[in-house]
Chain A
Amino acid sequence: MIPEVSTKQPDRGDKAGLFDIHRLPDELYLEFFRRMVLIRKFEETVYDVYSRGIMPGLAHLYTGEEAVAVGVCLTLDTADTITSTHRGHGHLLAKGGDPRRMFAELLGKESGYNRGKGGSMHIVDMSLGILGANGVVAGGLGIAAGAALSAKVKGEKRISVAFFGDGALNEGLFYETANMASLWKLPLVYVMENNQYGEYTAVSRSTAGSGPRRAEAMGIPAEKVDGNDVLAVYEAAHWAVQRARAGEGPSFIECATYRWRGHHMGDQGDTYGYRTQAEVEEWMNRCPVTRQRNYIIQNEIAPAEALDAIERDTQAQIDQAVEFAKEAAYTNPEEVYKDVYA
């Protein structure tokens, strides 16, 4: 069963009509598509590389959820910070992360973002405001609120975005930190990715009430959008980011979406028996990348051939990233004892 997605827009008061989502610059519609394709190709290539036994460790793929990361990150400046989750590749790429250094990290190489000391769940790029994927569910929420606090204390204009899943909504840390963020009007945007399952348990079996209602109870304005529609996500994020920049405090956006792949690479087919193939296919028919592709073609922003070229070029870029990572040197053994302390 696919939960119903509300398309109702919240009352945005004076902020209404800031821009018309259907009258953005053409380049922006193409950029939405490019970055979603980048994530899709990256993740499907991870699937392939992992399946061939080249990549050690764990991998949690973002395939199917691309519109959330892209719609939010394209509202941000480089100085703005994000925190991510164990399913973090998409957020990193959307914020500008380098696929070559990401793949090198996934393979445990010296030229990886973290010199192979973090792996898939811990990639950080401080220069891009990527404060990290995080291996603990809700683990990024404290860091995100703290980054917002430091922006406020230091009088810096940057804002902070916390990506988290429906699973993190039931962690205590969300309530402890969101309460303070609301009390102190911190420049923070909560982006809840509801991909319908916390590991192998459906949201309907784990979550009473709803994310937006819980946020509203703490005085945080909230809305729910179709997380497979990059334009809807962008519009909501634009509203939330403007509020944060204006010093009006945190906002909360629930993005309804779906992960096509399993919770992690070990979750294939019927291994855990928690969802049906029919349900997966139903969501695959609502592919966010195809949706944006169709929007661009129907609105004559670019022809299909141009989009095909983007897909080909992106796959080539990812293939080069994999080659770069495979050829890169493994991390020097001396590295194991470095960076324990500053």
Chain B
Amino acid sequence: MSTPERIGTIREAINEALHEEMRRDPNIILMGEDVGLAGGIFKITNGLLKEFGPNRVYDTPIAEAGIVGLAVGAAMTGLRPVVEIMFSDFTTLASDQIVNQAAKLRYMTAGQCKVPLVIRTAMGAGRRAAAQHSQSLQVWYAHIPGLKVVMPSTPEDAKGLLKSAIRDDNPVIFLEDKMTYNNKGPIPEGDYTIPLGVGRVHRQGDDATIVCTSSMLYPSLEAAERLAQEGIQVEVIDPRTISPLDDELLIQSAIKTGKVVVVDEGYQSFGVTAEIAARIMQGAFDYLDEPVRRIGAADVPLPFAPSLEDLTIPSADQIYRTVKDMQAKMYTAAVAAA
């Protein structure tokens, strides 16, 4: 069954999802810095103020804790707020509201209330924006029970996942990699949703598995293509949401290939890659040829200079070399055994 679709950018996909959802449900409101008149710093929310008016689209002061605080109260009392925090680095200013209020209210009250809230925020390095505008803090929020964490990588996923996030009755952190806003791909028309917690296999293969989140899909696919030219068939999987995480999909692929590399743009130490690697090793230990490899951002504050920043972000070449190294080790071991 095919859904009609057109080719567009991630920016257009998110904008379309917001328009469609706000038309569908009058309880959805939009709040954030410059999201109304200016259409958002990344122009994601263009046209929404014009269509839905100031009672549903709020240009807020620069006050991240206050914005999320209001959104939590509004969500408890019948609205479904969608908040934009300009850069994910600034979610730290709202972290009490996210971690101590939004995430816990349902549990603390034994289900007496719900907090249907989406916090959209731009993450990721590569924009030469330095240490306070470039971080990938997904693991902070994935660590907290009560939150869901979504990381779309394609226009199709961005649209389908955002619609599901808005319809979800829980607080959802929706991380958009700012370097992918112009990436193009098919955008399904109309009421297209993707369940949260279901990963996507972008490329099938038997020789190794690359698990990659958000924009890391692109260097991973590039590495997979180079490896394919050398006869190494790599499976590339994007979990799409890291909380909930589609463990089973990742474990089954690991059982099939025996070799796994996990790539995420957050810091490597205590990062998303660590959790995914641990779950795969617990679920597929007997089938693995060697320990799961991890590639994250270098454990440094992100530097500004392009020549320096490039050294800190996972690259296609690094992914390619990691898979090659695993293959070489296997070969060496096989020769030694013979």
Residue ID in chain B nearest A139 by CB atoms? B101
Contact A131 B77 (CB under 8 A): yes
Encode B87-110 as 1/0 by CB contact (under 8 A) with A.
000000000110011000111111
A179 on interface, CB distance cutoff 8 Å: yes
Stretch in B17-25, B64-72, B220-228 with 4+ CB within 8 Å of A? B64-72
Residue ID in chain B nearest A335 by CB atoms? B110
Contact B73 A117 (CB under 8 A): no
Interface residue ranges of B102-150 to A (CB < 8 Å): 105-116, 145-146, 148
B79 on interface, CB distance cutoff 8 Å: yes
Contact B66 A341 (CB under 8 A): no
A41 on interface, CB distance cutoff 8 Å: no
A143/B108 contact (C-beta < 8 A), A124-B113, A136-B96, A176-B61 known? no
A122 to B106, CA, bound (A): 11
A135 to B107, CA, bound (A): 14
Most buried by B among A122, A141, A142: A142
Shortest distance from the beta carbon of A140 to any chain B beta carbon, whole Å = 9
B75 on interface, CB distance cutoff 8 Å: yes
Contact A147 B108 (CB under 8 A): no
A114/B108 contact (C-beta < 8 A), A139-B96, A146-B75, A149-B74 known? yes
Interface residue ranges of A141-162 to B (CB < 8 Å): 141-154, 160
A141 to B111, CA, bound (A): 21
Interface residues on B, range: 35 or more
Contact A149 B112 (CB under 8 A): no
B293 on interface, CB distance cutoff 8 Å: no
Residue ID in chain A nearest B168 by CB atoms? A342
Contact B29 A142 (CB under 8 A): no
A177/B69 contact (C-beta < 8 A), A131-B77, A143-B101, A342-B106 known? yes
B46 on interface, CB distance cutoff 8 Å: no
The prevalent SS among residues of A at the interface is: helix
Encode A168-180 as 1/0 by CB contact (under 8 A) with B.
0000110111011
A340 on interface, CB distance cutoff 8 Å: yes
Contact B69 A117 (CB under 8 A): no
A173/B100 contact (C-beta < 8 A), A131-B77, A132-B105, A180-B60 known? no
A184 to B65, CA, bound (A): 17
Q: Which B residues lie within 8 Å of A81 (CB)?
A: 77
Partner of B73, one of A124, A135, A150, A176: A150
- What number of A residues sit within 8 Å (CB to CB) of B? 47
Shortest distance from the beta carbon of B223 to any chain A beta carbon, whole Å = 35
Contact A132 B63 (CB under 8 A): no
Q: Which B residues lie within 8 Å of A115 (CB)?
A: 110
Encode A318-342 as 1/0 by CB contact (under 8 A) with B.
0000000000000000010011111
Contact B109 A179 (CB under 8 A): no
Contact B170 A341 (CB under 8 A): yes
B310 on interface, CB distance cutoff 8 Å: no
Residue ID in chain A nearest B101 by CB atoms? A139
B247 on interface, CB distance cutoff 8 Å: no
Encode B203-230 as 1/0 by CB contact (under 8 A) with A.
0000000000000000000000000000
Contact B69 A141 (CB under 8 A): yes
Q: Which B residues lie within 8 Å of A148 (CB)?
A: 73
Interface residue ranges of B217-268 to A (CB < 8 Å): none
A131 to B74, CA, bound (A): 11
Q: Which B residues lie within 8 Å of A132 (CB)?
A: 105, 108-109
Extra A-B contacts (15), CB below 8 Å, given A136-B100, A145-B69: A113-B109, A113-B112, A114-B109, A118-B110, A134-B101, A146-B69, A146-B71, A146-B73, A149-B73, A153-B29, A173-B96, A180-B70, A338-B111, A340-B106, A341-B146
Query: Could you list some 5 contacts between A and B, CB below 8 A?
Result: A142-B97, A146-B72, A149-B79, A180-B60, A341-B148
Query: Which B residues are within 8 Å of any A CB, using their own CB?
Result: 27, 29, 55-56, 58, 60-61, 63, 65-79, 81, 96-97, 100-101, 105-116, 145-146, 148, 169-170
Nearest first, the 10 A-B pairs at minimum CB distance are A142-B69, A146-B73, A176-B66, A342-B169, A143-B73, A176-B63, A146-B74, A115-B110, A146-B70, A339-B111
